[in-house]
A and B are shown apart, each in its own frame.
Chain A
Amino acid sequence: MAPMSPYSGKPDLIRAIIGEIPYLRRFARGLAGDRALADDLVQDTIERALTRLHLFDQNLSLRNWLFRILRNLSVSHYRTVRRRGEHIEFDELAMTDPLELQPQEAQSQLNDLSAGLNQLSHEQREVLLLVALEGLSYREAAEVLSLPIGTVMSRLGRARAHLREFMGEATNERIRRIK
């Protein structure tokens, strides 16, 4: 352990890691879309973190260090599935036909957002989730992703623009179909 560690020892650090699991699961759910895949990612993240406790980067918060591990795992996962050409299943929610479900407008918008999120590139999605869902500052997001802060900001801008465009279209589409 580095001398500046706020954790007095290994058991302390492990307890703290356990406390971060809900946030890891939320981030993973957003990244992967699919619940089982997300929980696999979290499990792999914890396993990897436990074998690398000595590498815990004191410049990051524990949560952000874990986010970084999780994100790196998800990137290598995406590379693998792209190479294999495997189809990634998204949440059923995103695939539900709005006409069949006839949900309230608020629910429809959530479905649109879920579908829109899946339309984003992995690079845009991870930035948007870290900043808008996990509440990281631009600097923190840049550290987690090992990117320059300017790249974080431009990806965030593109993510929001795409999402806005997608959700606008989805709403229009729904209105057309219901008419």
Chain B
Amino acid sequence: MSARRDSVDEAMLHAYVDGELDNRGRLEVEEWLSGHPDDRLRVSEWVAQRQKLHELFDTVLTEPVPDVIANVATRKRAGCLSRRIAAIAAAIALFVAGAVCGWLLGHFQFGTRAPGQVVAERALNAYSIYAPEVRHPVEVEAAQKAHLVAWLSKRLGTPIKAPDLTATGFKLVGGRLLPDDTNPAAQFMYQNDAGRRITIYVVANKPTRETAFQIYNKGPINSFFWLASDCTYAVTGTIDQQSLLAVARAIYHQLTGREHS
């Protein structure tokens, strides 16, 4: 089928960038772009604008929601004054609860919290935000894998890889840069034919020792995490633990050439 067109108007170029075209339209535009470098430049700059918008604002998604907003949604409807009093009371209660929890954590849990669990928690939060994203699950797509890996390696300050997981049925969708507290983190996303997604989350936080696989989960989302020589890894998904563990082993094997116990 020839996709050649005599002209492609600007509206169609926008529609192309925004995923509004069907397959045929997409092919037509791609054909057009291959012969029109000016339009190609425009399109690539629009895509870059979108990526930069995400870089600029996606961190908001992982910020903790201010109490004042969270409380609005949960408090009972009442008059203005009593609402304000209720808000103050809620703030005091939260403060007290926070202090008690902090104390309890400090005394009972802190020592038992596995190294890397914080990373797994962030990986899981990032998964729950980006994995359901239909149109823009990644910043850089798998088509630009070499660029993606080079860019993330540069930002993390250590060479990282996007493992090939085709043997487990998962194909690379792409990846993105994320904040892990004060460190940059890389997130690679994979998808299988059934549309299930998993992510590999990597932080170059120079762990002091290597560890075995450990599991962290929240609701239906599981995350296997481990500390390697210079990075902490977390493999996260909503697939069952055995399948996810198989994926984690495959990743470990590819990264180190060794089998993981």
A153-B14 in contact (CB<8A): yes
| A interface SS class | helix
Give, as a whole number of angstroms, the nearest-CB distance from B105 to chain A: 24
A133 touches B54 (CB 8 A): yes
Report if A143 contacts B (CB, 8 A): no
A109 to B129, CA, bound (A): 25
Once the chains are docked, how many angstroms separate the CA of A50 from the CA of B74? 10
Is the pair B57, A133 in contact by a Cβ cutoff of 8 Å? yes
**For the complex, is B143 an interface residue (Cβ under 8 Å from A)?**
no
The 8 A CB mask of B35-52 against A (1 = contact, 0 = none) is: 000000010011001101
For window 109-155 of A, CB contacts with B under 8 Å fall at 109-110, 113-114, 128-129, 131-133, 135, 137-138, 153
A128 to B18, CA, bound (A): 11
In the complex formed, the residue of A with least CB distance to B51 is A132
- Interface size counted on chain B using CB atoms at 8 A: 37
Given contacts A26-B61, A39-B69, A157-B10, contact A164 B45 (CB under 8 A): yes
Query: What is the interface of chain B mostly: helix, strand, loop, or mixed?
Result: helix
Cα(A35)–Cα(B140), bound, Å:
27
Q: Which residues of chain B (114-149) have a CB below 8 Å from chain A?
A: 129, 133-136
Residues of B within 8 A of A (CB): 10-11, 14-15, 18-20, 42, 45-46, 49-50, 52-58, 60-63, 65-66, 68-70, 72-74, 77, 129, 133-136
Please list 12 pairs of residues, one from A and one from B, whose beta carbons are closer than 8 Å in the complex, sorted by A's number: A18-B74, A21-B65, A29-B57, A42-B69, A46-B72, A109-B52, A110-B56, A128-B53, A129-B53, A137-B19, A138-B20, A157-B10
Q: Which A residues form the contact surface with B (CB < 8 A)?
A: 14, 17-18, 21-23, 25-26, 29-30, 39, 42-43, 46-47, 50-51, 109-110, 113-114, 128-129, 131-133, 135, 137-138, 153, 156-157, 160, 163-164, 167
